[in-house]
Structure 1
């Protein structure tokens, strides 16, 4: 009897021990899985953090590049304006010298012929003086715009365009008047100034840029239809220009 009992106990023990061993194996497996999961989550978190840092750095670099491009564009615009001023002054000086020479030559011929000549300089000399005065006024007005003094710049540029409409300074004064008005927040007045430039000085190099500027203001105001019309006008009126090329690209996106 005792031997039978021992036998039964041995059999029970044999059955229990593997089951317990299986339980221990499952616990160990779950523990390892948990550790692997924690390690994977830690690695994933580290990767996400690195990606986020890279995105932040790239965004910062992109903003820096955009800022540098904007600054360079402003500097280029200012240099172009300054070159225009220098060009006006040079042209005005050359024209004035030429007209004064012609006037002096005419006076000398008249004296040689015994007719004499008195009175004011001829019309060409007067025109040269007007051009010189307009160039000086334009230079002073543009300097106000360049220095960010928008309100006095608007007034001064408007005076140049109004007082000297027949001079070389007038169309450029209208262009920068529009730029000053736009930067001051008066888009409607800016469009009017640029339109005066296009309508009154169609052959001027700034006219294509004026049309493109008008389209930009129209888009800012939500007038997509008007902007498309202006860009098409630019492409048709000034083919082959840089402004027309940019307008064509813009039209494809609208």
Structure 2
């Protein structure tokens, strides 16, 4: 009875043992799988955290690089603005120097024009004259044309003193004598025209000066001297217009 009673229990235990053993084995595998899974999750989390940290560090580095680059750009902009300012200042200084140089050159050219001799053709003569010399002569002529005889006489006399070797001298003597004659300074006119005749006998104005001398001598009530002057004029310059006028006056003086 005892054996029969124990047999079923033993049989039941024998049947259940594989299942229990299998159940126990499955739990270990599951736990192992869970542990491995947790380890993988933890590893992935660590890797993710590390990547995130690295990314954050990379972002911070990028931000630092961008900030440094931005600062460098601002510095370059400031330097460029400074260089532009210097360039503009230099451009202004160069422009001012060029203007000053131009003014200096203009001043030099003007001074050269004031002293550089000019080529002059007057009364059939060609000569050189300083600009001031030419201006003084033309100023005296302008006064004579306005019938300002006494100021013109003074201007011609001053010219002869300032420019004793001027190419204008024969013409100045001629016009000075005429201005003196017009001012009724007959004696002075005879002296002036007489100098032209003596010093410049070949000048184109010399025959006219002799005719003017005779007129002054007539005004001085000296017809004999006037007659002799007219005769010399006809003799020395027979083909001149002044000689033709002299012949007519000689006829009247006889």
TM (norm. structure 1) is 0.48
Greater Rg by CA: 2
